[in-house]
Structure formats: C-alpha cells, structure tokens
Amino acid sequence: MDTKQTPHAPVHFPHSRRHSDHHPRDPIPTSRVHVRRARLAAFAFLVVLCILLNSLTRTTQTRMAQATQTQTPRPTGPLSISIPWTPPFASTSVPQIHASISGHHFELPVDTGSTGLLIGAPLLPSIAPPEGTPSFQYFSSSNNFYSGRLVNLAVTFHGAHGSTATANVPVLVVDKSVKCPWYDPERDGAACPPNPDPHGPEPELRDTGKIMYMGVGFGRNVLGDKRVNGAPSGNPFLNIESINNQPIHATKDPRTCKFRIGYTLSTLGVDLGLTDSNTQGFKWVDLDPGTTHSSDMRDWAMVDMCFSFSFLDIHDQDQDQSVNCGKALIDTGIEHMYIRTGTNLSIPSITIPNPNPDGYAKEVQRVKPGTKIAVGFPTLVGDRENSVAVHEFVVGDGEKRVEAPSYVVPEKPRVGVAPYVNTGRNFLWRYEVAFDAVEGRFGFRETNKKTTLSQSLGSSLSNAPNHEHHSPSSHPNL
C-alpha cells in the first residue's frame, strides 16, 4: 500500500548536532522535543490508518466471497432457442420441427390443438414391449384410436445454429391403432368397441410405423381427464429441462425458475423460452386458471374471444351482426375453422357431399360462402378499442387472403356450452402468438412478414407416409 505523509513545517536548528555544545546526557532543547513528539504522533497515526485499511479490505473480501458462494449462477445467455419449421410454414400442412428421441431423429408435427406426444412403436425399437404403463388415446377429428404404453423419454429439439432444448415427458408408444368412428369417449373404455351397426365396417387397422404426432397446446384437458400426457406435465414445450445442455433447475413454482416457461409461434418457427427480446411488441390477454391449476400452476384455460357474423340477404343488404363470446383455440393442426354460436343463434350454413374420402358421414355442413366473420381477442365491442387483436375475413376468401381459413365448419349449438372458435393455422399469417405459462397470458403480435398466396402454398409434407396429422375436437363425422 502506498501512503503519503502529511508534510510538517520545517524545523531550524541553530547548530548541527556534531558541533553541539551539549553533552549527550544533557537535557534536549524544547524545540527538538516538539519535533520528536510530532514525528511520533504522525507515525502512530499512520500505523492506526494502515491497520484500519487492512481490516476493511479483509472484511470486504470476505463478504464478496460469501456473496459469490450464495448467489445462484447467472446464465451466460438468454435461456431461449429459436427452432425453424422444416420445411417452411405452409397452409396445407402441419408445421414440423426437427427432434430426436432415444437416438432416433424425426420431423415432428407441432399441433397446438392438443397435448401429448405419440410415436409408433416401430419407430422406437430401443423401447422394449413390456416397458411403460398401459394407456390409450382417442381423437374424434380423425376417428383414430391409439393404445400402447406411456414411457418417460427425453426429447431434444434442434434449433438454429446448433442450439438444442431437451424436455422429459411421458410418450405414448403406440402398439396398436384403429380407425373407430363410433367410439364414444364418455362411454367406451380402453379399446374400440364393436360397430353398433351390424352392417357397418369393422375397425380399420392402421400402420403404427407411420404414427408421429406432438401436441403442445394448452387448455385442452378437461375436468376428470386422467390422461397424464394430456395435462401440462405431458406438454413437451412446457417441460424443458436444459437449453444447450445447460440445466434449467426447474422448481415447483414456475415463477422462481430462471427459464421463462412458454413459447412463441410464427410462420418462421418456434421460440422456446420467453425473453424480453422475443416478446417485444406483443399485446397480452390474461387467461383464466385451467382445470388443474391448483396442483399445476402451468395449467391455463384457452384465450377469451368474442365473434360476430353477418351476411348479405337476397336484397344484398347487410344483416345485423350478433356477438358471441367464449373461448378460442389457435390450432396449427388444421387449415380450416370451427365455429359454434350460442343456442339462440344460427350461422348461415349449407350442406354438401363429404369431400373427405375417408369420412364417416356422407354429407357435411359448411358455413355459407360470403358470410363475414370477425373474431376479437378478448372482446369485440363498439369501436373495438378494447380488442388486442381482431381477425376478420369473408368465408370463401381463402384464395385471395392467406390468413382466411380454407373453409369454416359450423358446430351445432348446445345448451350450457359456450360459443367457441378454432381459428386454424392460417391465423399465423396475420398474427404471431405467444403463450406465457408463468403469468397465464396469451400474446398477439402483427406479423412483419409480407407474403403472397403462392408463398403460403409452399412446400408441403402433408401426405408424407411417416407423419400423423390431426387435431382432437368434437367432430366425429369428419
């Protein structure tokens, strides 16, 4: 330590000590006594100052060391990765991302209309047949019934620039699958029952080597649903354990986790983990707690919405709009829309031959072309100043506006059941969306990407033989 002494006033001696007339034992003159005392005082002051400074330095170093030991290590970068669609997003197919499970690589379809991961047993040969807990799942939109075993597996998602995110979730390893249009989830159990129509077809056996499906939606479980993989604990996007091999150290309370549980979706891909950067510009709608929120704080209900519809009468006059409020689902699993009004209303519809060659019904209903539909989040009132986002289109405009659904299916109104809208995936051409599983929010951000219809109809793997594309919903005839 470099210290500087305070300069003293110069002291003048009349004679040098060598020529002093005094004997060494003679009394020292008073002036010299003052000088010596001053020097001793200065020396003592410096000693005390050094002791104090040394003590302060040691105390500071000790406190810094203690703080270093008790602080949680900070991440070296934002705990989020961007995962591009492979191939690029298209209206005609379920978007996919690259992932690996048990050393096997897949292009997994990302379906926000359901929850849970299903993989055909032949695609995971390292999983022995006895392994896992017996389970089953049924999807009414495709009439497909699955039976197999739930096995906890690590799922690694591969993002841009070699980044990775790894989740650990129960996977339904499918041993058998049949097409079972007459299955009733409220009545039937863990197997497809015989066809009640004695002249009808038998259950159609399906190739499990082509089954690959991942649901990442929220609010899809219902009260009393015992499917483990249908709850947040079965959602791969909500159970990330590491980013770029850096453990996240998840806690029971997601608010204390350094990884912000949630994701964003756009026509470019997925961001896993929310940050200030990837959520900039989003406008948020608060969500209601989900059915199991008391035991799992990541469980949130679907987003609130209100919609209106109008149509031209025979005199080309716009009929009054009727507002219906309920819940909405932004569903990447389908390119069309489902809509359900209140019991006191009916939306203009027509009946057509079923265009689906594999459909169970001979005829189906569609919302009448020319009907104007507007969906507001969370509401749609007055000048819409309270709306965070508004999705408007005219049925049948899908060939002109890429954000419009390919067609709209009307659901039959039911007593005690609220209005409902499933927008389909084309909604992402208009808005990017985000799900915040920590605070229970759903965000909307207008897309910056200008696209044309030809771009929206880009490369598609919708008919690829090794992918299972569907979304669960209450449409047993489709």
More confident residue, 386 or 76: 386
What are the DSSP calls for 201-245, one per residue? PPPEE--GGG-EEEEE-SS---TT---GGGSGGG-GGG-EEEETT
More confident residue, 52 or 239: 239
Distances 259 to 25, 155, 161, 247, 295 between C-alpha atoms, Å: 82, 17, 20, 10, 20
Residue 46 neighbours by CB under 8 Å, 6+ apart: 3, 5
Reported as a single tens digit per residue, the pLDDT across 370-422 is 999 999 999 987 556 678 999 999 998 867 789 999 999 999 998 889 999 99
- In contact, 159 and 168? CB cutoff 8 Å: no
Rounded to whole angstroms, the Cα distance separating 91 from 301 reads 26
- In contact, 381 and 311? CB cutoff 8 Å: no
The mean pLDDT of the chain is 79
Taken in order of first residue, the domains within the chain and their CATH numbers are 81-273 (2.40.70.10), 303-456 (2.40.70)
Tell me the pLDDT band of 464, cut-offs 50, 70 and 90.
very low
Lowest mean pLDDT among 54-58, 193-197, 418-422: 54-58
pLDDT over threshold 50, residue 76: no
The 3-class secondary structure across 365-392, one letter per residue, is EEECCCCEEEEEECCCCCCCCCCCEEEE
What is the average per-residue pLDDT within 120-134? 93
* Count of other CB atoms within 10 angstroms of residue 266: 21
More confident residue, 360 or 369: 369
Rounded to whole angstroms, the Cα distance separating 83 from 159 reads 4
* Count of other CB atoms within 10 angstroms of residue 352: 11
Q: State the residue for tokens 């929850």.
A: 115
Tell me the pLDDT band of 46, cut-offs 50, 70 and 90.
low
Q: For residue 321, what pLDDT is reported?
A: 58
The token duo for 446 is: 């207008």
- In contact, 337 and 425? CB cutoff 8 Å: no
- In contact, 241 and 168? CB cutoff 8 Å: yes
Dmax (CA) of the chain:
143
The answer for 124, left when phi > 0, alpha when psi is -120 to 50, beta otherwise, is beta
> How is residue 253 annotated by DSSP?
S
pTM for this one? 0.76
Q: For residue 203, what pLDDT is reported?
A: 92
pLDDT over threshold 50, residue 303: yes
